[in-house]
Amino acid sequence: MTTIRDVARRAGVSVATAARALGDYGYTSPRTRQRVLRAARALDYHPNAIARSMIKGRTQTLAVVVSDNANPFFASVVRGIEDAVLGQGYAIILCNADEDPAKEALYLRAIRQKRVDGLVISPSGGPGGLLRGLMASGIPIVQVDRRLARLPADAVVVDNRAGVRAAIEHLVRLGHRRIGLLGGPRRLYTGRERLQAYLAAMREARLPVADGWVLEGTFKEASGHALVGRFLRLRRRPTAIVVANNLMTIGALLALKEAGVRIPEEMAVVGFDDMDWAPILTPPLTAIAQPARDLGAAAGVLLLERVTGAFAGRPRTVVLQPRLVVRESCGTRAAPSWAYTEQESRGPTA
């Protein structure tokens, strides 16, 4: 195995000079540095990353903890983070919390031991004590997609309220008055935001929200499937539903198909997250598109600014805008007259 002594000997310099040139610390003349680098390339020498991190005080490694790596949304977020950091010489350690606060805690303890330079996390709803401890130890954190209210860290999120509001307004324009929500866990930022957005949009449209029209799920496919079954057992079921994430949408669509419910004639559907498969469904799915890759890229940029010391100010929040992609799963005409009574069409009277 080639050592730094071999490089120094070939370049005709001391070991200390070779170490400074290869580690890019201290002073080495440009001419000497180039001679050392040529010697290293000729000998196929690769510096010891652990030793280099001890000298420079940085590992050139960032941790990314996502809440569910089976979700294509988070795959796009990670791609965005890579876009921002790989070209700056940083590698990524990817961890999957699987929407489990206990599993997330295990990873956070390991991340502290690994001495990473920074962390991007989509929190799974834990209390936040471990994250505050990481920050106190000098590891900067950026939250992405979700945020914890009492964590004084940068965050990059989407405007969930704007997305849900656009979906409700679209359904109302098509004539729907009975609109339900398959929501996410209320312990999570995105679950709460999308629920509150739904309730606010329904109030603005002066539409009722009957018992059983708002259901709480787990952001998993099986949850969407089960909740649709509960909708279909209602005596006065909604004629349209907004589903809080892409995996739940898959489960919901499968349940509607199994029950023989026609989309959009008997049930209109809007999904939160626009996936690659949405346009090829029958009918193609109307969806709230999130800029997932841009979310990741923005989080990566904020983290690099913290890690390198380019920014040391108060926590920042970046809010990106979603957009409603209208396809055919809500229909192109008003809901059928049997879908609501005349009183319901005017909205609540009290």
Specify the pLDDT at position 18: 85
pLDDT(333) > 70: no
pLDDT(45) > 90: no
Specify the pLDDT at position 236: 92
Give per-residue pLDDT as tens, 257-300. Answer: 999 999 999 999 999 999 999 999 999 999 999 999 999 999 99
Distance CA 92, CA 62 (A): 5
The mean per-residue pLDDT over the stretch 80-97 comes to 94
Distance CA 301, CA 144 (A): 12
Specify the pLDDT at position 338: 34
Which of these, 48, 338, 333, lies nearest to 173 by C-alpha position?
333
Specify the pLDDT at position 26: 75
Confidence of residue 21 (pLDDT cuts 50, 70, 90): confident
Give per-residue pLDDT as tens, 117-171. Answer: 999 999 998 778 999 999 999 999 999 999 998 899 999 999 999 999 999 999 9
Confidence of residue 7 (pLDDT cuts 50, 70, 90): confident
Confidence of residue 337 (pLDDT cuts 50, 70, 90): very low
The mean per-residue pLDDT over the stretch 204-215 comes to 95
Confidence of residue 58 (pLDDT cuts 50, 70, 90): low
pLDDT(1) > 80: no
Confidence of residue 55 (pLDDT cuts 50, 70, 90): very low
The mean per-residue pLDDT over the stretch 196-206 comes to 96
Confidence of residue 23 (pLDDT cuts 50, 70, 90): confident
Confidence of residue 347 (pLDDT cuts 50, 70, 90): very low
pLDDT(51) > 70: no
pTM of the model: 0.81
Q: Over the chain, what is the mean pLDDT?
A: 89
Distance CA 183, CA 218 (A): 8
Specify the pLDDT at position 102: 93
Which of the two residues, 39 and 340, has the higher pLDDT score?
39
Which of the two residues, 206 and 48, has the higher pLDDT score?
206
E strands, 226-298, are 240-243, 268-272, 286-289
Specify the pLDDT at position 150: 87
Give per-residue pLDDT as tens, 240-268. Answer: 999 999 999 999 999 999 999 999 999 99
